[in-house]
Structure 1
Amino acid sequence: MKRNVLIIGAGGVAHVAAHKCAQNNILLGDIHIASRTLSKCQAIIASIKEKGNQRGPGQLKAHQLDAMDIEATKKLIRDTNSQIVLNLGSPFLNMSVLQACIETGVAYLDTAIHEDPAKVCETPPWYANYEWKRRDACRQAGVTAILGVGFDPGVVNAYGRYGMDAYFDTVDSIDIIDINAGSHGRYFATNFDPEINFREFTSTVWSWEDGKWKANAMFEHKKEWDLPVVGKRTAYLTGHDELHSMSANLGVPNIRFWMGFGEHYINVFNVLNNLGLLSEKPVRTAEGLEVVPLKVVKAVLPDPASLAPTYTGKTCIGDLLKGTKNGKPQEVLLYNVCDHEEAYKEVGSQAISYTAGVPAVAAAMLIADGVWDVSQMVNVEELDPRPFIELMNRIGLPTRVRDARGDRDLDPFAECPELSERETLGKVVVD
């Protein structure tokens, strides 16, 4: 059993994860939170205590850390006796934190693909440019590294794997649909780090079509989806992290990601982009100051965490799989609905952060009790999704399924008790 968790980062997702770790600290042990800004870590701890979310005895401690400093990160891991590291800071940190975990022999988890600050939207499969280059090192060190274990990426990867094994003989397409039908009441804001949010949409949009990568422009393709609870919503074809691993691991010819955007968001985004204000490249002002336009925009927009108190409405995120079963066409939607107000009541967060933070903690719990402690690097779809989905049902993110039989709560073990013929469910499927 692995115990004691080090959370790196102090943003919205780290906030949620710290609350959920504290709720489950009887299994997870001491909880440490580290960031460059110590006061943010201390504020999270104060929030946990205010909500009464620490279930058992144990340390709940804040630390100051520059996680780009591998040696400093290694020292903190050792000083805190942490055996599981949740990297929930900027994706610019991934490779540094991962290396520190490899060298100290502790488990590593993150919720997004690594990014180079100087590059936007890299050549797919993106994971091959960074994390996957450390596969051998993880295996040799016996280190469990689970990549992209938020909601998307993360839960949607598990939905893809589970759906294939539970309901289909062949799958032709997986459409991942992410709809935020909530309202934060601000003129314009992003639901997570504005810098990371905008970088997703300012370059080529990659989708997996007919077994190969297809380049598109942002907002080039849109489609109306009719989803549970949130109803009919327009979503746009968008590039996203999970496509870069699912395309390699699932053998499905068509995997696409669709994200909902309102017309107001699109208009503001286009104005900022057309003015060059979303560029990651430095410019020099008339006063001789060198600034990065994207960082300036980030500085003037609301902190995503500040949206939580007034956020209303719900999110709906899921996978729509199409294929065949027993020679007949089959369509299945696996999804979750999360309420902004309920998330705020429980942990002081909005639903976007909640849906990313809860899965990361579920994965940490599965590592702690040995179910997902696989001593190598994997993406979520390479693991048995059943304990993951079942655990999330219990700790805050219940899954539902909609198919020809109706719309119902998903009991993943009841609906798929055995391995499929592919013999991938219930075991790691990497070489």
Structure 2
Amino acid sequence: MKPNVLIIGAGGVAHVVAHKCAQNNHRLGELHIASRKLEKCHRIVESVYSKGSMKMPGHFQTHSLDAMNVAATVQLIRDTKAGIVINVGSAFLNMSVMSACIETGAAYIDTAIHEDPSKVCEPPPWYANYEWKRREECDRAGITAILGCGFDPGVVNAYARLAKDDYLDEIDSLDIIDINAGKHGHYFATNFDPEINFREFTSTVWSWQNSQWQAAKMFEHKQTWDLPVVGQQATYLTGHDEIHSLSHHLGIPDIRFWMSFGEHYINVFTVLNNLGLLSEKPVVTAEGQEIIPLKVVKAVLPDPASLAPRYTGKTCIGSLLKGRKNGEEREVFIYNVCDHKQTYEEVGSQAISYTAGVPAVAAALLIADGTWNVRRMVNVEELPPQPFIALMNEIGLPTQVIDSAASGTSPVEVIDAADTLRS
């Protein structure tokens, strides 16, 4: 029986999820999309039909929903008979949507860790602060809840598990490298929700070093890598969702996340931050109006979903693991390259949204066919990675592997390491 899918959210990632669900509606049943802004849902569904994304004739309905309202979300799940809920709204919604899924028995998928709007970069481990506290509820309800199933977190977690299963007996380090070598043509913009984007970078950077948490400042540690397709790219050590689960589940002593930033982005970010414009705390204007500076910045920046038509270039995101196989030193880089222009031509999206949205739909398909319908709460690295990676190869995100055992050389070269971290 087809499960029916409810998509919550109507941003750039939801746009991709909608198209990919439509391309697979013969396996997913009736489709629904809900958001506080109904007109955005309408535009997404119009895009699905204009692109001819529906695999077979079927329903794709739009709904108005405040997903912070658990009772309203419960009612919508029941009304739509949704067996799978894909939460690609704000990360502030996770706990509310999960509550509705637990009450109704619907499977739950999200792409990012929960955030409390009043807190920025809470002390680790983040999943233990929110989602993992509800494991027993999911177990009792018998619902499948797959956490952080975008690309990073998500696919990179599966890559790490694949390396552990198939390539390495012992793993010393995991470096997750996220490169966007594309250009969007705007003076300044963020590739996903500016509010979530900036909150990641305005406080402490947490990494997992020597099997313990290490604190650093944003842009304190820099490394330049020579990567497939995108070439030499400067990255900075950044705190990120997947470190918090991978450090718990895979027993790797060193786990780091590196993200590419251009000098222009860093300069603009620094000015905004130093002026206090990235603060989530309210301020009062001279006219007595209370505003939150970060929300004002978000309001004046381009909508990430609007970047797609002008975006060119490629992304390269992957997991670099070092360790041993049969007592011999070995390194493996498992990665994907995605093209902004190609994703726009296919679904009207830029590659950042595409790489986040496709994995969530792959997870929904694996729940629908029973492969990942585990009826408990899991992070991606707790699930068998092979069917997930194989399915993504089919639906738009092919995986590639460079293995030092085959080439005799390191798969990724560090050109410059302007920091004190081990690499």
Report TM bin, short chain.
over 0.9
Partner SS for 1:186? coil
In 2, the alpha carbon distance for the partners of 1:71 and 1:16 equals 27
2:264: which partner in 1? 264
Distance in 2 between residues matched to 1:103 and 1:53, nearest whole Å: 32
Equivalent position of 1:90 in the other structure: 90
* Alignment pair present for 1:288 and 2:291: no
Alpha-carbon distance in 2 for matches of 1:2, 1:246: 32
Query: How much does 1:238 deviate?
Result: 0.2
Which residue of the partner structure matches residue 149 of structure 2?
149
1:169: Cα distance to partner? 1.1
Partner of 1:336: 336
**Counterpart of 1:303?**
303
SS in 2 for 1:42: helix
Question: In 2, distance between residues paired with 1:164 and 1:275?
Answer: 45
Contact 1:184 1:307 (C-alpha < 8 Å) held by counterparts: yes
Q: Contact (CA 8 Å) 1:2, 1:367: kept in 2 or not?
A: no
The answer for the alignment partner of 2:420 in structure 1 is none
SS of 1:371 mapped into structure 2? coil
Q: Which residue of 2 aligns with 1:276?
A: 276
The equivalent residue for 1:195 is 195
Residue 315 of structure 2 is aligned to residue 315 of structure 1: yes
Q: How does 1:29-428 map to 2 (within 5 A)?
A: 29-404=29-404, 405-406=406-407
Give, in angstroms, the shift of residue 165 of structure 1.
1.3
Cα distance 1:58–1:122, how it changes in 2: closer, same or farther (>3 A)?
A: same
C-alpha RMSD over aligned residues: 0.8
Whole-Å Cα distance in 2 between the matches of residues 168 and 92 of structure 1? 37
1:189 match: secondary structure: coil
Determine helix, strand or coil for the equivalent of 1:302: coil
* CA deviations over 1:176-197 (Å, ceiling 9, x no partner): 0000000001000000000000
SS at match of 2:159: helix
For 1:197 and 1:134, the matched residues in 2 are separated by: 26
Q: Distance in 2 between matches of 1:115 and 1:8?
A: 16
1:34 partner amino acid? A
Deviates more, 1:322-331 or 1:196-205: 322-331
Answer whether contact 1:191 1:352 (CA < 8 A) is retained. yes
For 1:316, what is the secondary structure of its paired residue? Answer: strand
**Cα deviation per residue 1:7-46 (whole Å; 9 max; x = unaligned)?**
0000000000000000000000011000001010010000
Distance across 1 between alignment mates of 2:166 and 2:236? 28
- What SS does the aligned partner of 1:78 have? helix
Identity %: 73
Q: In 1, distance between residues paired with 2:13 and 2:31?
A: 15
Shift of residue 406 of structure 1? 4.4
Structure 2 partner of 1:427: none
Using the alignment, how far apart are the partners of 1:127 and 1:319 within structure 2? Answer: 21
Query: What secondary structure sits across from 1:333 in the alignment?
Result: strand
Q: What is the one-letter code of the residue matched to 1:361? A: V
Tell me the distance in 1 between the aligned counterparts of 2:94 and 2:201: 20
Shift in Å, 1:403: 1.4
Name the SS for the 2:245 alignment partner.
helix
In structure 2, C-alpha distance between the alignment counterparts of 1:221 and 1:244, rounded to whole Å: 19
2:238 partner amino acid? T
| Further displaced range: 315-324 or 325-334 | 325-334
The residue type equivalent to 1:179 in the other structure is I
Amino acid at match of 1:54: M
1:242 alignment partner, SS class: helix
How many residues in Structure 1 have an aligned counterpart in Structure 2?
Answer: 407
Conservation of the 8 A alpha-carbon contact between 1:110 and 1:360: yes
Residue deviations 1:129-177, cap 9 Å, x none?
1010110000000000000000000000000000111111100000000
Tell me the distance in 2 between the aligned counterparts of 1:316 and 1:192.
17
CA contact (8 A) 1:2 1:84 kept: no
Displacement of 1:334 after TM fit? Answer: 0.1
SS at match of 1:53: coil
Q: Distance between the aligned counterparts of 2:177 and 2:167, measured in 1?
A: 19
Q: Structure 1 runs of 4+ off > 4 angstroms?
A: none
1:19 matched residue in structure 2: 19
Stretches of structure 1 that go unaligned for 5 or more consecutive residues are 408-431
Q: CA deviation at 1:2?
A: 5.2
- Cα distance in structure 2, aligned partners of 1:230 and 1:303: 25
TM-score of the superposed pair, with normalisation by structure 1: 0.94
Structure 1 residues 2 and 250: alpha-carbon distance in aligned structure 2, compared to 1, 3 A threshold: farther
How far apart, in 2, do the equivalents of 1:132 and 1:102 lie? 14
Distance 2:336 2:324 in 1: 24
Partner SS for 2:85:
strand
Q: Compute the displacement of 1:319 (Å).
A: 0.3
Letter aligned with residue 271 of structure 2: V
Aligned equivalents of 1:25, 1:274: Cα separation in 2: 48
SS at match of 1:138: helix
| Cα distance in structure 1, aligned partners of 2:342 and 2:48 | 16
Shift of 1:57: 2.2
